[in-house]
Amino acid sequence: MGQAEVTQAETTQDTAKSVTQTSVYLLGIGALGPGFGDWSALRAILRGEQDWSRAVTQIPVPQVLPAAERRRVGVVVKVALSVGLEAAQHADRDPALLASVFSASNAEGENCHALCDALAGEDRFISPTRFHNSVHNASSGYWSIATSCLAQSTSLCAFDASFSAGLLEAAMQVVINAEDCLLVVHDSTYPHPLGSVRPMLDNMGIALVLSAQPATNVLARLDLSLHEGTATTAPTIELAALQAGMPSGRALPLLHAIANGLQTSVDIEYLSPLNLRIGVNPC
- Region label for 48, one of left (φ > 0), alpha (ψ between -120 and 50) or beta (otherwise): left
Q: Residue 101: its pLDDT value, please?
A: 98
8 Å CB contact between 271 and 13: yes
| Bridging pattern class, strands 4-5 and 99-103 | unpaired
Sequential pLDDT tens for the chain (283 residues): 344 444 444 444 444 444 578 999 999 999 999 999 999 999 999 999 999 988 999 999 999 998 888 888 889 999 999 999 999 999 999 999 999 999 999 878 888 888 888 888 888 888 888 887 888 899 999 999 999 999 999 999 999 999 999 999 999 999 999 999 999 999 999 888 888 889 999 999 999 999 999 888 899 999 999 999 999 999 999 999 999 999 999 999 999 999 999 999 999 999 999 999 999 999 9
CATH entry, 4-18+25-217, from 3.20.20.70, 3.40.50.300, 3.40.47.10, 3.30.70.120: 3.40.47.10
The pLDDT, as a whole number, for residue 130 is 83
> Which pLDDT value is given to residue 182?
98
Inter-axis angle of helices 252-259 and 237-245, nearest 10: 130
Give strand pairing partners of 180: none
In single-letter form, the type of residue at position 150 comes to: L
Residues in the chain: 283
Instruction: Return d(Cα 277, Cα 16) in angstroms, integer.
Output: 12
pLDDT of residue 268: 97
Give me the residue spans of the domains in the chain.
Answer: 4-18+25-217
Q: What does the H/E/C string look like for the chain?
A: CCCEECCCHHHHHHHHCCCCCEEEEEEEEEEEECCECCHHHHHHHHCCCCCCCCCCCCCCCCCCCCHHHHHHCCHHHHHHHHHHHHHHHHHCCCHHHCEEEEECCCCCHHHHHHHHHHHHCCCCCCCHHHHHHHCCCHHHHHHHHHHCCCCCEEEECCHHHHHHHHHHHHHHHHHHHCCCEEEEEEECCCCCCHHHHCCCCCCEEEEEEEECCCCCCCCEEEEEEEEECCCCCCCCHHHHHHHHHCHHHHHHHHHHHHHCCCCEEEEEECCCCEEEEEEEEEC
Cα–Cα dist 107/11, whole Å: 19
